[in-house]
Amino acid sequence: MIAELVSSALGLALYLNTLSADFCYDDSRAIKTNQDLLPETPWTHIFYNDFWGTLLTHSGSHKSYRPLCTLSFRLNHAIGGLNPWSYHLANVLLHAAVTGVFTSFSKILLGDGYWTFMAGLMFASHPIHTEAVAGIVGRADVGASLFFLLSLLCYMKHCSTRGYSARTWGWFLGTGLCAGCSMLWKEQGVTVLAVSAVYDVFVFHRLKMKQILPTIYKRKHLSLFLSISLLTFWGTSLLGARLYWMGNKPPSFSNSDNPAADSDSLLARTLTFFYLPTKNLWLLLCPDTLSFDWSMDAVPLLKTVCDWRNLHTVAFYVGLLLLAYYGLKSPSVERECNGKFVTNGKQNANGHSCHSDVEYRNSEIKPSFASKVENGIKNNASQRTQLPSTENIVVLSLSLLIIPFVPATNLFFYVGFVIAERVLYIPSMGFCLLITVGARALYVKVQKRFLKSLIFYATATLIVFYGLKTAIRNGDWQNEEMLYRSGIKVNPAKAWGNLGNVLKSQSKISEAESAYRNALYYRSNMADMLYNLGLLLQENSRFAEALHYYKLAIGSRPTLASAYLNTGIILMNQGKTEEARRTFLKCSEIPDENLKDPHAHKSSVTSCLYNLGKLYHEQGHYKDALSVYKEAIQKMPRQFAPQSLYNMMGEAYMRLSKLPEAEHWYMESLRSKTDHIPAHLTYGKLLALTGRKSEAEKFFLKAIELDPTKGNCYMHYGQFLLEEARLIEAAEMAKKAAELDSTEFDVVFSAAHMLRQASLNEAAEKYYDLAARLRPNYPAALMNLGAILHLNGRLQKAEANYLRALQLKPDDVITQSNLRKLWNIMEKQGLKTSKT
* Residue 771 φ/ψ, nearest 5 degrees: -60, -40
| 794-836 pLDDT, tens digit each | 888 888 888 888 888 888 888 889 888 888 888 888 888 776 5
Tens-digit pLDDT profile for residues 748-769 = 888 888 888 888 888 888 889 9
pTM of the model as a whole: 0.81
What pLDDT band is residue 594 in, cutting at 50, 70 and 90? confident
Axis crossing angle, helix 561-573 with helix 577-588, rounded to the nearest 10: 160
For residue range 546-555, list pLDDT tens digits in order.
999 999 999 9
pLDDT tens, residue by residue, 491-514: 999 999 999 999 999 999 999 999
Residue type, 264: D
The C-alpha atoms of residue 617 and residue 651 are separated, in whole angstroms, by 9
**685 band by pLDDT with thresholds 50, 70 and 90:** very high
Output the DSSP codes for 561-593. HHHHHHHHHHHHHTT-HHHHHHHHHHHHT---T
What is residue 364's DSSP assignment?
Answer: -
Where exactly does CATH 1.25.40 map onto the chain? 776-835
The 10s digit of each residue's pLDDT in 617-665 is 999 999 999 999 999 999 998 888 999 999 999 999 999 999 999 999 9
Please answer whether residues 352 and 341 qualify as being in contact, where contact means their C-beta atoms are separated by less than 8 angstroms: no
Model pLDDT, residue 220: 60
Architecture of domain 776-835: Alpha Horseshoe (1.25)
Report H helices in 111-203. Answer: 114-125, 130-134, 139-161, 168-185, 192-198
CA distances 15 to 1, 284, 332, 475, 631, Å, are 22, 19, 47, 10, 50
The dihedral built from the CA positions of residue 693, 697, 698 and 702, taken in this order, carries a sign that is positive
Torsional sign, CA 600, 601, 602, 608 = positive
Classify each residue of 531-560 as buried b or exposed e, where b means 16 or more C-beta atoms within 10 Å of its C-beta.
bbbbbbbbeeeebeebbebbebbbebbebb
Nearest to 156, CA basis, from 352, 298, 287, 317: 352
CA neighbours within 13 Å on the CB side: how many for 102? 35
CA atoms within 13 A on the CB side of 317: 11
Kindly indicate the confidence band of residue 331, based on its pLDDT and cuts at 50, 70 and 90: low
pLDDT at res. 385: 56
Q: Please name which of 516, 510, 509, 531 lies closest in space to residue 484, comparing C-alpha atoms.
A: 516
Angle, CA of 452, 456 and 460, to the nearest 5°: 165
pLDDT the model gives residue 482: 95
pLDDT digits (tens, 9 = 90+) for 771-797: 899 888 888 888 999 889 888 888 888
Distance CA 679, CA 659 (A): 15
pLDDT tens-digit map of 129-166: 999 999 999 999 999 999 999 999 999 999 999 888 78
Q: What is the pLDDT of residue 306?
A: 93
Question: What's the chain's length in residues?
Answer: 836
What would the mean pLDDT of 682-687 be, rounded to a whole number? 94
Using DSSP's 3-state secondary structure scheme, residue 377 falls into strand
Task: Read off the amino acid at residue 664.
Answer: H
Opening angle at CA 243, ends 239 and 245, nearest 5? 115
For residue 77, name the pLDDT band (cuts at 50, 70, 90): very high
